[in-house]
């Protein structure tokens, strides 16, 4: 009886419990499906977001920012000129150093400006590894390929494709079978009456016109596109590629000086001495001024500088005084200025004019019938040791080959040469291992090896060169 009552009662409770659990499972099942769907959706969205983030992070912006562009166009022109890559009635495409540009010909506006320093390319410089710029026949794409003598060096760089319409830059090779734009010619052999320093190549457009780039100043902002219209007669059209608000380098430097003056000061008209010098000369000037003054140490970096001495008039007290300014020609900023005495000015003018230094720079074809040679490094003079070596020096330098590019070699060895007519000239030698010299901004390679033989004529070995110039 008890067993039956207990069993029956528990069975009824069991049924209720089973029913209750069944309902709970039913409700939880629907809830689980809803929650599962939501979680699945969140996961999908998260995956998409992560994918987008990865894609964004892997997409580099190669465009030149406003600050980068301003810095770029105010840099001085180096040892090479810009290259014209493509031109038609609508667009101009060219590159120079770290800049690649697409210009709207109709509106004279920059469509795309690419900062090439953000790309992993060999660059547009002298050496055994370099970047070649190619444009397809229709002017839609630019292909940047790296070439050189050593495959292992070339392999360190990437090739790129630039969409000239959108400005998109991608790593990748030029497609097989691509037809290239090849309508180039040597500027000096095609164009007569060239204005300024021109690009090596021009682009003839049939018999109608010819295009080339030129500069008549020493700053990148001064680069112009020259269009020679041939019919009915040669008519020259010139315009600045970076806009009509170009300011000359000379004016920029003058503006920098004027902005540094106090409110009551001005430069006396027709006063002033101006020299373009190396970092070594700046250090020599500062050392001289430091002899009698308690001057703060100034860090002068390797480069090219302007030294200017002006007579400054003060309207407040109606007095004048001399002031020296040193301008970094690369950054276009004053690195040093100081009032100086008349005696200091006389000393500096005499030092900077350097009457012993020849004014003429010899090109390879000028180096003939040499009767005397001496090498000057940091103020020290090294004469030729064996006169019979003069013929070797003459033969080596007169057969030097032009380098269509620049070099980062330190150019600090001044070689003064005298010919049989008594005419003096000079070339400036690289003082690392490079067999390179420069004349009036043009670089020449004078040996397949290094420069140890050349410096050996003056009793200087490779280690001593480095000791003298570092």
Q: DSSP characters for 169-230? A: EEE-PPPTTPPBP---EEHHHH-SS--SEE-SEEEEETTTEEEEEEESSSBGGG-EEEEEE-
Distance (Å, whole) CA 273 – CA 352: 10
Distance (Å, whole) CA 199 – CA 223: 10
Predicted confidence (pLDDT) at residue 470 exceeds the cutoff of 80 = no
- Closest to 62 in 3D by CA, of 93, 110, 98: 98
Least confident of 52-66, 87-101, 223-237: 52-66
- Closest to 374 in 3D by CA, of 411, 420, 424: 424
Res 160: pLDDT = 96
Question: CATH 2.60.40 spans which residues of the chain?
Answer: 364-469
Higher pLDDT pick, 229 / 295 = 229
Who contacts 5 (Cβ-Cβ below 8 Å, separation ≥6)?
none
Per-residue pLDDT tens digits for 379-394: 667 888 777 889 999 9
The rounded radius of gyration (Å) of the Cα atoms in the chain is 35
pLDDT band at 320 (very low <50, low <70, confident <90, very high): confident
Which is it for the CA torsion 126, 131, 137, 142, positive or negative? Answer: negative
Q: Which helix (H) or strand (E) holds 342?
A: helix 342-353
pLDDT band at 323 (very low <50, low <70, confident <90, very high): very high
pLDDT band at 4 (very low <50, low <70, confident <90, very high): very low
Higher pLDDT pick, 322 / 295 = 322
pLDDT band at 167 (very low <50, low <70, confident <90, very high): very high
Res 16: pLDDT = 56
Distance (Å, whole) CA 453 – CA 8: 117
Q: Quick one: angle between helices 279-290 and 342-353, nearest 10?
A: 150
Per-residue pLDDT tens digits for 125-138: 556 788 999 999 99
Predicted confidence (pLDDT) at residue 109 exceeds the cutoff of 70 = yes
Place of tokens 């030149």: 64
Res 267: pLDDT = 87
Q: Give me the residues paired with residue 395 across strands.
A: none
Res 20: pLDDT = 55
Task: Determine what percent of the chain is predicted with pLDDT higher than 90.
Answer: 35
Res 210: pLDDT = 94
Res 244: pLDDT = 73
Region 3-23: mean pLDDT is: 49
pLDDT band at 329 (very low <50, low <70, confident <90, very high): confident
Region 407-430: mean pLDDT is: 84
pLDDT band at 236 (very low <50, low <70, confident <90, very high): confident
Predicted confidence (pLDDT) at residue 35 exceeds the cutoff of 80 = no
pLDDT band at 251 (very low <50, low <70, confident <90, very high): confident
Mean pLDDT of the chain: 82
pLDDT band at 58 (very low <50, low <70, confident <90, very high): very low
Res 54: pLDDT = 42
Region 200-217: mean pLDDT is: 90
Res 292: pLDDT = 74
Per-residue pLDDT tens digits for 264-313: 998 886 677 888 888 888 988 998 888 878 777 778 888 888 899 998 98
Distance (Å, whole) CA 135 – CA 93: 9
Distance (Å, whole) CA 196 – CA 216: 5
pLDDT band at 163 (very low <50, low <70, confident <90, very high): very high
Res 7: pLDDT = 41
Note the CATH number of domain 364-469.
2.60.40
Region 452-463: mean pLDDT is: 82
Least confident of 1-15, 108-122, 166-180, 258-272: 1-15
Res 5: pLDDT = 37
Predicted confidence (pLDDT) at residue 418 exceeds the cutoff of 50 = yes
Region 200-227: mean pLDDT is: 90
Is residue 219 within 8 A of residue 240, CB to CB? The reply is: no
Region 396-424: mean pLDDT is: 83
Region 212-237: mean pLDDT is: 86
């Amino acid at each position: 009886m008890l067993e039956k009552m207990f069993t029956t009662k528990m069975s009824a409770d069991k049924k209720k419990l089973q029913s209750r659990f069944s309902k709970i499972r039913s409700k939880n099942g629907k809830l689980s499906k809803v929650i599962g769907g939501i979680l699945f959706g969140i996961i999908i969205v998260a995956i998409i977001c992560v994918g987008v983030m990865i894609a964004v992070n892997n997409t580099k912006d190669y465009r030149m920012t406003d600050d980068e562009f301003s810095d770029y166009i105010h840099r001085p022109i180096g040892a090479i000129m810009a290259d014209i890559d493509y031109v038609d009635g609508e667009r101009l495409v060219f590159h120079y150093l770290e800049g690649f540009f697409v210009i709207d010909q109709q509106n004279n506006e920059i469509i795309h400006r690419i900062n090439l320093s953000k790309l992993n390319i060999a660059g547009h410089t002298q050496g055994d590894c370099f970047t070649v710029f190619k444009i397809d026949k229709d002017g839609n794409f630019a292909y940047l390929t790296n070439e050189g003598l050593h495959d292992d060096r070339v392999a360190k760089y990437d090739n790129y494709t630039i969409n000239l319409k959108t400005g998109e830059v991608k790593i990748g090779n030029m497609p097989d079978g691509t037809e290239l734009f090849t309508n180039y010619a040597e500027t000096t052999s095609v164009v007569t009456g060239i204005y300024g320093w021109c690009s090596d190549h021009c682009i003839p457009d049939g018999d109608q016109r010819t295009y080339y780039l030129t500069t008549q100043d020493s700053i990148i902002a001064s680069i112009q596109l020259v269009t020679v219209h041939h019919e009915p007669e040669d008519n020259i059209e010139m315009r600045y590629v970076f806009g009509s608000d170009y300011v000359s380098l000379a004016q920029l430097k003058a503006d920098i000086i004027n902005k540094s003056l106090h409110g009551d000061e001005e430069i006396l008209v027709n006063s002033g001495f101006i020299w373009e010098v190396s970092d070594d000369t700046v250090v020599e000037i500062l050392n001289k001024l430091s002899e009698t003054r308690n001057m703060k140490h100034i860090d002068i970096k390797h480069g090219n500088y302007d030294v200017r001495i002006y007579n400054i008039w003060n309207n407040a007290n109606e007095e004048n005084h001399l002031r020296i300014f040193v301008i970094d020609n690369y950054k276009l900023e004053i690195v040093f200025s100081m009032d100086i005495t008349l005696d200091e000015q006389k000393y500096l003018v005499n030092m900077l004019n350097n009457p012993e230094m020849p004014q003429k720079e010899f090109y390879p074809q000028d180096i003939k019938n040499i009767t005397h040679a001496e090498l000057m490094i940091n103020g020290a003079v090294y004469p030729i040791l064996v006169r019979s070596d003069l013929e070797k020096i003459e033969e080596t330098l007169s057969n030097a080959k032009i380098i269509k590019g620049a070099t980062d070699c330190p150019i600090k060895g001044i070689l003064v040469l005298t010919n049989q007519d008594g005419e003096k000239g000079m070339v400036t030698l690289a003082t690392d291992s490079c067999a390179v010299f420069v004349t009036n901004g043009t670089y020449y390679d004078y040996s397949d090896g290094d420069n140890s033989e050349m410096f050996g004529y003056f009793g200087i070995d490779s280690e001593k060169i480095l000791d003298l110039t570092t």
